Each structure stands twice: as C-alpha cells, then as structure tokens.
C-alpha cells in the first residue's frame, strides 16, 4: 500500500515513475513534509552528514549516503562527496551521536561550508527496513524537510532502484570550482572504498533495493531546487 501525506503537487510523470519504482516491493509506505515558507532554490550545496542505524557498517553507511546523493542530484541539489565529508568531520573530531541531532548537523554543515545538512536514520535495518530523513538549515538548525517510510522484504530490482544503486559502483562525479579555487559539490559512488577491503559490511542486494525504493519514496516530498 502506497501512502503519501501532504506532498507537494507532482506531475503525472513523477507519479508514474514512483509506481514503477515500488512495484517490485512487497510493501512500501512513506510520507513527508517541508517548510513551505522556505526558498529551497537558495540551497546551493548540501551534505548528508549522518547515516545512523546501521551500526559500525561503514560501507553500508556510505552506500546509503551515495544513493541519497544521487536522488538529491536528480532534484537539482549539489551534494558533497561522501569521502570529503568523512575526511572533514574526522579532522574536526565530530562525534557520530552529535551528528544525528539538528544542532550537531547544522554545526557540521557550517564547517563543510554548505547551506543545508541531511540526517538519515534507519530505526529498522532487518527484513523490514524503515528510514527517516531530515534536511536542516545550517544557519539556525531549523528543520526544512522531514520524511519517513518503510519497506518490507521482497523487493525486486526495478529501473529506478537500479539507477540509484548505480551511484555506488560507477559514481557520478560533478565538481564546481569556486573563485577561491576550492572544490564545490561532487557526487560519487563508493565502489572504490567497497572494493578496497570493506566489502564485508556492504549492503546485500536486498538491502540495496529496499534502501533505493525508500530513498526514492522519501525524496518525492522534497521540493526540487
């Protein structure tokens, strides 16, 4: 059963794409809402600063963040590459627990020099997967967008899920160099990291499919930039 609450009006094509994306799942549900007084077009750069709920599975966190980056890119946002975020946050000694809160995510976003920060949480990460996501304004820590959903097992690979999962292996790199010479937004997969020795804690095919359709579901409630 597909349940969407208070979503922004969407063209028929987007609705049809969603139907195709979730057709292979035994059950997918989700809802989301955003701050209607906020100008999302003002967000030039964003960063997925936290993926919580998968324990110490580094590769799994990076895979989910990369799939989320792919979805954000499709909506017109410029997400920061996961490896760049990890390097900066480790250097600044941010605790993982602090990043799961809006205030901590906002602080990390300011360090990363982005306009908004995204927090992802997976309360359930077994046969049934649930996921919630929030986008936070880094200036004051207010929540700009929030969504949550769940997917039961039984998902088959769909066209949309395949597109999102493709961000893991091949990677889509987009860089923007500012006037000060710094590198701007870059989106890429984590294929190199996974192949480099941490494949043991990477997502299984089933988990990839569940995460992909959930991310696609949740981000439908996020306004395009």
- Spell out the residues 6+ positions from residue 124 whose beta carbon is closer than 8 angstroms to its own: 53, 130, 150
In tens, the pLDDT along 94-134 reads 888 899 999 999 999 999 999 999 999 999 887 789 999 99
Residue pair 187/46 in contact (Cβ under 8 Å)? The answer is no
Name the band, by pLDDT with cuts 50, 70 and 90, for residue 192. very low
The pTM assigned to this predicted structure is 0.71
Say yes or no to pLDDT of 190 above 80: no
* Residue 126: per-residue pLDDT: 78
Residue pair 117/47 in contact (Cβ under 8 Å)? The answer is yes
* pLDDT average, residue stretch 78-100: 91
Q: Are strands 46-52 and 116-125 parallel, antiparallel or unpaired?
A: parallel
Name the band, by pLDDT with cuts 50, 70 and 90, for residue 152. confident
Tokens of 100: 């799961």
Say yes or no to pLDDT of 177 above 80: no
* Residue 56: per-residue pLDDT: 77
Instruction: Find the helix packing angle between 159-169 and 12-22, rounded to 10°.
Output: 80
- Spell out the residues 6+ positions from residue 204 whose beta carbon is closer than 8 angstroms to its own: none
Q: What is the mean pLDDT of the chain?
A: 77
Domains of the chain are 12-219 (3.40.50.10610)
Q: Which of 1, 2, 5, 3 is nearest to 221 (CA)?
A: 5
């Amino acid at each position: 059963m597909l349940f969407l609450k208070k979503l922004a009006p969407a063209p028929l094509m987007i609705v049809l794409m969603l139907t195709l994306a979730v057709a292979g799942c035994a059950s997918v549900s989700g809802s989301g809402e955003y701050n209607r007084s906020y100008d999302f077009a003002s967000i030039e750069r964003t960063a997925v600063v936290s993926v919580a709920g998968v324990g110490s599975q580094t590769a799994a966190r990076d895979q989910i963040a990369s799939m989320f980056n792919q979805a954000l890119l499709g909506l017109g946002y410029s997400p920061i590459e996961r490896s760049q975020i990890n390097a900066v946050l480790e250097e600044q000694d941010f605790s993982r627990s602090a990043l799961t809160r809006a205030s901590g995510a906002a602080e990390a976003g300011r360090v990363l020099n982005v306009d908004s920060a995204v927090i992802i949480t997976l309360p359930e990460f077994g046969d049934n997967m649930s996921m919630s996501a929030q986008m936070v304004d880094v200036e004051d820590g207010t929540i700009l967008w929030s969504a949550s959903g769940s997917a039961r097992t039984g998902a088959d690979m769909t066209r949309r899920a395949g597109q999102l999962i493709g961000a893991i292996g091949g990677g889509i790199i987009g860089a923007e160099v500012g006037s000060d010479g710094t590198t701007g937004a870059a989106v890429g997969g984590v294929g190199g990291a996974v192949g480099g020795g941490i494949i043991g804690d990477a997502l299984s095919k089933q988990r990839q499919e569940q995460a992909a359709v959930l991310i696609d579901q949740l981000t439908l409630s996020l306004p395009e930039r």
